[in-house]
Structure 1
Amino acid sequence: MADNALALSSSAANPAASASFVERVRSFSPGQIMAVLGGVAALIAVLAVSLMWTKEPDWRVLFSGLGDKDAGAVVAGLDKLQVPYKLSEGGGAIMVPGDRVHDARLKLASQGLPKGGTVGFELMDTPRFGMTQFQERLQYQRGLEGELSRSIGALGAVQSARVHLALPAQNTFVRENQKPSASVLLNLHPGRSLDRAQIAGIVHLVASSVPELSPKQVSVVDSSGALLSGEDASADKTSLDPGQIQYVSQLESAYIKRITDILEPIVGRGNVRAQVKADVDFNHTEATIEEFKPNNGDQPAAIRSTSTQEASNGAGAAAAGVPGALSNQPPGESKAPINGANPAPQAAGQSAGGQSNRSAVTNFEVDKTVRYTRNATGSVRRISAAVVVNQKAATDKGGKTSFTALPEKEMEQINALVREAIGFSKDRGDSINVVNAPFKMEEAAKPVDLPFWKQPEAGSMIKNIGMPVALLLIALAIIFGVIRPALRRAQVAREEAQAAATQSEGRLNAVLDDTEALPAPERAGVPLLPNQAPNENVNDLRTFAKDNPAAVALIVRDWMAGGKAETQ
């Protein structure tokens, strides 16, 4: 029994050497176990959420503005390619991870996706037997409309386009066939517009793609229903189109640059401000002038026509003269002075044989001048310029700045330079106003230092660096705030139990020593009385077992382990 007590004392003195981790966990109270499990679960949840957030792909737009049919075809193609995607903008935009955008586009393009809602000449790729001539012509027309829609949709400002062609059937037995016509519907990107040159390009693109189609038979309309082509598109002359407004702005900027470039070398950079208002005439005028002037001068006038009339009455003189061709020559060219009097008509002459009358009318050429004038659009009608020149600044010893006006002679020179820079014309009604005034130079606003969390790069930095640090801090807080205190409380309770077991073990050893010192009842041969020492020791053992059940259990377990070892 002394050996068993020694074994019990050695095992109870050093429980950490023989207790395993499972035994420590088993020694936890239910509250401690729940606290440890809750901390571990919270740590796992935080790690999982953080991992999912950091692994969230960078979604990029693959296609946008798709119709329902095209969007469904693209989604089916992405499913076949096993590419993750998500829909946005009500299904009109399809987004995929950023590292797979280009690969997905190329693979979908190889499948002909998206088709864009229009079909082109691919309709002719699959011939069908039994088609009538009307069906073939209609299919060709559909393909041509689709190809034109795609070509127009390739323009930067155009989001989508639809083309309608009216191609009448040509008949050789009809003297005048009906001419084809076309209409184009444009859907522009928000905030974009087309200028006259771009609209004319669309018109000629369609007209050149259809045989015998005149550009005048092509109508271009935008999504708001406004007519963009044709004569009716420019019927409203009261407002300027964007091209004209841009021309006026460029013209005014050119005049301002001329003024600043010529004055800054004199007054210094930043010491001159100029504004120019140009009144531009965009009216298109044509004039034809035909002038008639009287014949002036001593030069002979050119004869336009001559008319001669002769009349005779009675018996005339007999024919005389030399017969033949020499006597039948026409008269020479008649000339008359411009300012001279008209030749008097020949009076009727009397001859011996009868009466004759002869009259002549001469028409002269009239001096005429025809002049055709066509004024160019965008001519400048009037220019108004306002120029402010800074005064001379001087700083005294005290650091105070004072301004001095420029001399009158220098201001006259500046005024003359401004006149020459803008091409001043008094007949045109131009006006110039040059003022010499001090500039109020305000200090440049200091850049505002934004807090770190408001800076654009803070988001990516927090995601790349701050998130792992935050996870580490959360893990340390859970470990040292929940798990470690629970383990420490369990360790303290175990140490207290071990201390109580050690104290009880000392008392038990003392009782056992006293029991072993007394003779056994069988060997002494004397019956024991109720008030003798062994009964008192048994009562002490019972009291100790009742007060310290854990210590007694450890002692019994050590006895059993020692008995098994001796048996073996």
Structure 2
Amino acid sequence: MNEWLKKLFLQVKELWSKWTVIQKVILIGIVAAVIVALILVSVFSSRPTTVPLFSVPVTDQAMRDKIVYRLEQENVKVYVTDAGMISVDNEATARRLRAILVREDLVPGNVDPWALFDVERWTVNDFQQNVNLQRSITAQITQHIESLDEIDRAEVVLGMPEKALFTADQKPVTASVILTIKPGSDFASPSQRKKVEGVQKLLIKAIPGLKAENITIADSAGNVLNDFDGMAEIDRVNIVAKEQKLIENLENAYREKILATLQQNFDKDRVRNLNIKIDMDMSKKEVNSTEYFPFTKRPDNKDTPYDDSEILESVTVSSQIIDKTFKGTAYNPEGPAGVEGQNPPVYSDMSNLYGVHQEKSETKNQAINTKQTQEIKSPSIDRVTVSVNIDGLWRRKTDPQTGQLLVTPANSIEREYIPVSAEDLEKAKALVQDAIGYNRDRGDSVTVTNIAVDRSAQFAAEDLAYIRSEQTRRTILLSIIAVIAVLIAFILFRIISREMERRRRLREEELLRKHQLEREKTLWEAEQAGMEVTMSVEERERAELQESVMSIAREHPEDVAMLIRTWLMEE
């Protein structure tokens, strides 16, 4: 193998040495061209395969930008060449996007419907060509409709009659489509009419000679979806409902604004009911008017107290003055020479008379100031009516001496009604008029009244609450008095009890003291008599305890007093 390579290398080297410079340059060029070709093939083969959206380039820059912007909203990668060709990644995406563009009228005018659906119209004979044409159109339309997100399956039947000799005998092209809509989709709802119109436009662009009135689109339940004439009544009802909703919203806005203003001045409880009715003209009117008015040559100076403006009713654009004077005999035609004239006798008699003729005229072309106005009115308010009632003030009567509320024998509070003054009613009326933009020429009406509102239930509740509060206050007062009386009685009882106890203790202490004195006296007498006195253990302990208590009382009188008070409180 190595010898073969060496031999091949020697042969190439020998040939290279024999070639001329031109041959060497040609060989180098061929090798470079082959290398460049290989590089280009590898580059183009590595690029992803795309499917053109249209078979022809879109030359209109504005239309191409609209199409690309709409496709980018579908989160689809779009490729646009310098020539204007638009392509996407695969055929399924292309069919779905074509359906969207047809539905939204974004198909360029230079795109042929056949190129849109990629139908190849070539065959052997006319009959086979027509059959293949119909089958191809049906298949392509079915694929396009089924590529929609909300369509599960589509069945398309086309009626393409043969061409008749006379136009009056030509039968129309028809199309019927049955759509199986995916569960949960609102494709068949009246609010999604635009989607059904998109399918209908798809059929019209795909089938030559097909008109909208010859298309029937139904769902799997047999409901016709493109009966737009039958939906006109539904549309009218929806429009009326929207108009009523608009009027209601406007009335609510006026009502909230007026109530907020009046309730700030008259209190919320006094201004409760406000009725407002707005009559609106929802029809669309186009008004063309021409107004003629004079020219203002010099405007009014606002600094002067008088009007110094200069106004011209018209301006002379052009004028013509004619002044003719004629003296002499008038021209009297006689006819050819040698022939008697054919003039009537009356002219013949006046042929040699001398006359004078004078003509004066002046023609002026005057121009006036003109203003032409063209406006479209829709909608407009025809009339606004407002009625509002303002209640007066109810003031409770009080006793001027005690300041207490006056109560009738029927246990109700006496009240006095103070009506709203006429001046306040006029001010409230002006306030409402300014709030609604009152226009007398339009027929607006504002009514502000002062009618006493029936507050029987409110007053009954207030009277009941007042009576209950008075009863509660009286009960609390009596309870407080009773508690105070009980406390006073208890205090008196305690004082009397303590006094009786103190006296009882004093008596007992006095008795004990007397007994002690007698005992001590007896002992002293016995000692004086030289008698031996014996004391029991209890008497001895009692005597020692008394001596210790007396010594403590002498040394700490305050502590002993505190101890005695504590004993008394415990008892």
Mark the structure with the bigger radius of gyration: 2
**Relative contact order (C-alpha < 8 Å, sep 6+): which is higher?**
1
